[in-house]
Chains A and B, each alone.
Chain A
Amino acid sequence: MTIADIPATPVRREREPTRVGWLIRQPKAVLSIGFLLFLICIALLAPLIAPYDPTKPDFGALLQGPSAAHWLGTDDLGRDILSRLMHGAGPSLLSAFASVGLGVAIGVPIGLLAGFLGGWTDTIISRILDALLSFPTILFAVGVAGVLGPSMLTGLVALGVLFSPQFARLVRARTLVVRQELYVDAARAFGASTNRILVRHVLPNAAQSAIVHGGLLLAIALLAESSLSFLGFGVQPPWTSWGAMLARAYAYMEAAPYLMFPPGIMILLTALSFNGLGETMRVLLDPQSPKA
């Protein structure tokens, strides 16, 4: 009897569930991502689909409640709330993504260096990170944005700088682990430079945790940006953001209490979706987390 005669036992392959397959069975993930995509479309198409010019006052229609002409009513200058809501989506989303992106851009390289070089570099960087982590976020951002000149840019730079130590710490911790791995030793033995090891071997490994954390930070960034714009330190006129709309609503709280609901609810839904997205990314990308 030769090997060829042995009947092949059929190998039963369990079909591994694909990531996409898993994803579409998660109602929370689908809803979150769907809502965010919808918002991005609205933000991009706002100039085309908004029923009114968001900056044009209409003194014949001040502080009107919802009506057929103005679905969500008008503000104190007669501007259409629905149009402003659509135009405000862009700056609100952009600030959230940009401040978290900046946090990653600053934090990841710093964390890599601290973790990989160790010694005094690590000690000094760690103390600076400790210092940055102890600034109360919005208090600090208000101060910096106010003194440097309030604008969307200073606001999101201040937030980005404050978010960066979270990424730096995370990446530093991952780097400390990865540094010990055999393959890094092997790369070094083959003569790879520190730069090469960092970029080719350590970074991909550490970046994953940074991305996951970034997803979970988006909602916090959105709320922080809204707070800044609410106080007048974020997005400046003629642009608008949901936080800035809440500031107008606050000024007319007694005369027109309905003004506070559209922007507030949009911030809430967007933050919920960001958290849904972050949670989904965590489950998909982090091999250690249980797929609930």
Chain B
Amino acid sequence: MIISKASQRMIGRRLLQFVPVVFCVAFIAFFLLNIAPGDPAELLAGEFPTEERIEEIRQYYGFDRPLVVQFADWFGSALQGDLSESLLTREPVLDIIISRFPYTLFMVVYAMVIATVIAVPLGIAAAAKPGSWWDSAAAAISSFGVAVPYFWVGMVLVAIFALKYPIFPATGAVPFGEDPWGAIHAATLPAIALAMSGIAEVTRQMRAAMIEVLSSQYVRTLRAKGLSRRKVLFRHGLRNVGITVITVITLVFNRKIGATVVLETVFAIPGVGSTMVHAAVNKDYLVVQGIILVMAMVVITVNLLADILYAVIDPRVEIET
């Protein structure tokens, strides 16, 4: 596989940007959460604390230092894999995230598989005959998918397929490593709900990309040569939509990571999202800060991988900086 000089430079520039962006992420997360009024030490000390107890807590966590010093300390440790510990349970924040992330990731990946399996054929069918019945159906599904509150879809699914007809469990999750089928079974309803906007987005983009390819010069030449519509569609059309698929999938991935917060609460899944809700309710802001940093880094990494993949697939790609 050959990667052009321009692409190599682009990938290099992208990698260099990674560092300042992560720094900005940490900086924003830290300062937004620390402008909160109120002293975390007083909050932690519980009801009717003594002045000494508050002081003790303040010193333990280093709340008595200037914010900039606290930030430098937190970010410095974070780079070495130490995200401090939960104010509630004293459990290391990174351990909490690592133990919860697999549930979230599994749900997101499952949802993306559902979205791809439904939306790619739908988008192709719509593009093959614009204006047809299929095309209208695809358009309707797209409009519905972006507008429907996905957590409400989750609730409706639970009401039907868990409470009325107990086919799937209403809540809970099974670790994939222990019982793959059990995990898939338990994650089906939340994954369908999570897939809604993905189905809409992938269908729309797929249709647009296919129409563009099918109306291009070389496809016209192939048709003129006597190749059937079907052959053109499957042999040449599909090959050219790889880029679109990657773009949409990364975009959808980023959004889904955020959306899991609500669905994990609806389905009582012990993932990163529900941990975030719990931490936010209890103002356990070291956990909140840690989750925001780690999740943003996951998103940045996925985007970076997508950019590199683009460059490998299509040497023409010039990524805007």
- Name A's B-contacting residues (CB within 8 A): 126-128, 130-132, 134-140, 142-149, 161, 219-220, 223, 226-227, 230-233, 243, 246, 249-250, 253-254, 257, 260, 263-264, 267-268, 271-272, 274-275
Contact = CB atoms under 8 A, between A and B. Distances in A.
B292 A135 contact: yes
B262 A231 contact: yes
Interface in B9-43: 17, 20-22, 24-25, 27-29, 32-33, 35-37
A214 to B, nearest CB: 16
B288 A143 contact: yes
A65 to B, nearest CB: 15
Contacts of A246: 149, 151-152, 155
Contact of B25 (A131, A274, A275): A131
A145 B277 CA distance: 10
17 contacts: A131-B28, A134-B296, A136-B255, A143-B33, A143-B288, A143-B292, A144-B32, A147-B283, A223-B149, A226-B149, A230-B151, A231-B262, A246-B152, A254-B163, A268-B152, A272-B147, A275-B143
A231 B280 CA distance: 11
Contacts of B37: 149
Chain B CB within 10 Å, residue with most, of A139, A146, A220? A139
Nearest to A227: B262
B280 A131 contact: no
B70 interface: no
Nearest to B266: A250
B262 A138 contact: yes
Contacts of B285: 143, 147
A161 B292 CA distance: 15
Interface in B98-134: none
Interface in B129-171: 143-144, 146-152, 155-156, 158-159, 163
Given A147-B33, A246-B149, A134 B300 contact: yes
B44 to A, nearest CB: 14
Given A128-B28, A246-B149, A140 B258 contact: yes
A131 B149 contact: no
B17 to A, nearest CB: 7
A137 B197 CA distance: 14
A220 B259 CA distance: 12
Contacts of A227: 149, 151, 259, 261-262
Nearest to B280: A146
A139 B277 CA distance: 8
Contact of A134 (B152, B259, B283, B303): B303
Nearest to A274: B147
SS class, residues of chain B in contact with chain A: helix
A139 B143 contact: no
Contacts of B1: none
Contact of B158 (A128, A142, A230, A253): A253
A146 B296 contact: no
B76 to A, nearest CB: 18
Interface of B: 17, 20-22, 24-25, 27-29, 32-33, 35-37, 143-144, 146-152, 155-156, 158-159, 163, 254-255, 257-262, 265-266, 272-273, 276-277, 279-281, 283, 285, 288-289, 291-292, 295-297, 299-300, 303, 321
A275 B28 contact: no
Contacts of A264: 149, 152, 155-156
A257 B261 contact: no
A267 B22 CA distance: 35
B271 to A, nearest CB: 11
B99 to A, nearest CB: 17
A275 B146 CA distance: 9
A192 to B, nearest CB: 29
A146 B281 contact: yes
Nearest to B152: A264
B155 A219 contact: no
A272 B142 CA distance: 11
A265 B301 CA distance: 37
Contacts of A143: 33, 276, 279-280, 285, 288-289, 291-292
Contact of B148 (A146, A243, A268): A268
B222 to A, nearest CB: 26
B216 to A, nearest CB: 18
Given A128-B24, A134-B300, A146-B279, A139 B156 contact: no
A137 B122 CA distance: 28
A249 B21 CA distance: 41
A119 to B, nearest CB: 14
Contacts of A271: 146-149
Contacts of B258: 136-140
A147 B156 contact: no
Contact of B280 (A127, A142, A223, A267): A142
A121 B20 CA distance: 14
Contact of A147 (B151, B159, B280): B280
